[in-house]
Amino acid sequence: MVTIFLPPVPPRRQASPMSRTIFFEVEVLDAKTREQLCFLDKVEPHSTIGDIKSLFYKLYPRWYPARQSLTLDPKGKFLRDEEILQSLPVGTTATMYFKDLGPQLGWTTVFFAENIGPLLIYLLFYFRVPYIYSDRCAFTSSPHKVVTMACVCHTFHYLKRLIETIFVHRFSHGSMPLRTIVKNCLYYWGFSAWLAYYINHPLYTPPSYGEVQVHYAMVIFAICEMGNFSIHLSLSHLRGDRSRGRRFPAPSKNPFTWLFFFVSCPNHTYEVGTWVSFSIMTQCLPVAVFTVLGFIQMTVWAKGKHRAYVREFKDYPAVRVAIIPLIL
């Protein structure tokens, strides 16, 4: 019997995780000229678009991440900062197109600018400062009680929005182009001046049904304001609780949140109700025009949010619609 001794087999050396990592190459081109702006080598596959923007910012400091727009096609949809490179429909060499969005401002600044203007502008007309109406009407007060009540409601509405901007709303790291902020401010400030001019005009006439119409409208106004605040508070708590993952908003013990049973964006529903009641209270055509335009815009926003909820959550309630219960 012959015994053969074999030398011990050395243990197989396991490949390190780094050796198995497939790095990406990212080429960034100008969306207009197709000129190559930079070539990023050895980009980790789990990098986000936000990470790529940060790397791009190191090469071009004048284009901070908020100014950058990256797409996979020159005319394609903007890539979100949280999207992961390896999840995109690209190979190991990705070509992205850059567009400068221009100077940006944070959402807190945007909301503050949009709301402080109407608050102050309306008060200028209410106190009838000189050069707005005739000289004999300067610093006079209206004899109609509804004018004062309208001023209280308008002031309360925008003070509430400013307080929500500072203490309630939770904004992402997104921003808005400066030119868009200017356009939005012109819209809100201009409409505020237009409706304030007629409501506080010396020749303004009270609503057709007098105090009954005004008081009922004020009750609806108060309900809608409380409802709008409750929804914003609920959404703020939902965004602040990230430990349970992403969830869609749901009704709570607060009765004002029960509108979530029927619509995806009750904050817009209550906002529309606020301006409808203000239109009834003042019986003023500029207010009605502002209400209709606001309803159209908020419907667009609500439908977009509703579609996003339906796409993201498979168990999203089928009974919910965008903004008007059981209708729209």
Last residue of a domain, one of 102, 133, 155: 102
- Report if residue 88 sits inside a domain: yes
User: pLDDT at position 173, please?
Assistant: 58
The C-alpha atoms of residue 91 and residue 114 are separated, in whole angstroms, by: 43
- Report if residue 320 sits inside a domain: no
Q: What is the C-alpha radius of gyration for the chain, rounded to an integer number of angstroms? A: 28
- Regarding whether 255 and 152 lie in a shared domain, the answer is yes
State how many domains the chain has. 2
Q: How many CB atoms lie within 10 A of CB 196?
A: 24
- Report if residue 185 sits inside a domain: yes
- Give, as one character, the DSSP assignment of residue 17: H
- Report if residue 326 sits inside a domain: no
Last residue of a domain, one of 76, 102, 128: 102
Dihedral over Cα of 320, 168, 193, 214: its sign: positive
- Regarding whether 43 and 111 lie in a shared domain, the answer is no
- Regarding whether 78 and 150 lie in a shared domain, the answer is no
Q: Taking the chain (328 residues) in consecutive chunks of 10 residues, what is each chunk's mean pLDDT? A: 46 52 88 91 89 92 89 88 88 90 86 95 96 91 95 98 92 76 95 97 95 97 98 88 74 96 97 98 97 98 95 93 95
- Regarding whether 145 and 54 lie in a shared domain, the answer is no
- Regarding whether 197 and 90 lie in a shared domain, the answer is no
- Report if residue 8 sits inside a domain: no
- Regarding whether 247 and 98 lie in a shared domain, the answer is no
User: pLDDT at position 327, please?
Assistant: 93
User: pLDDT at position 3, please?
Assistant: 43
- Report if residue 16 sits inside a domain: no
Last residue of a domain, one of 68, 102, 136: 102
- Regarding whether 192 and 48 lie in a shared domain, the answer is no
The C-alpha atoms of residue 155 and residue 38 are separated, in whole angstroms, by: 51
Predicted TM-score (pTM) of the model is: 0.80
- 236: nearest Cα among 300, 307, 163: 163
User: pLDDT at position 45, please?
Assistant: 87
Q: What is the amino acid identity at position 6?
A: L
- Regarding whether 93 and 44 lie in a shared domain, the answer is yes
User: pLDDT at position 246, please?
Assistant: 78
- Report if residue 42 sits inside a domain: yes
- Regarding whether 252 and 111 lie in a shared domain, the answer is yes
The C-alpha atoms of residue 96 and residue 176 are separated, in whole angstroms, by: 22
- Regarding whether 72 and 205 lie in a shared domain, the answer is no
- Report if residue 191 sits inside a domain: yes
- Regarding whether 97 and 83 lie in a shared domain, the answer is yes
User: pLDDT at position 15, please?
Assistant: 47
Task: Provide the domain limits for residue 192.
Answer: 105-312
The C-alpha atoms of residue 132 and residue 280 are separated, in whole angstroms, by: 25
- Regarding whether 260 and 137 lie in a shared domain, the answer is yes
CATH number of the structural domain spanning residue 36: 3.10.20.90
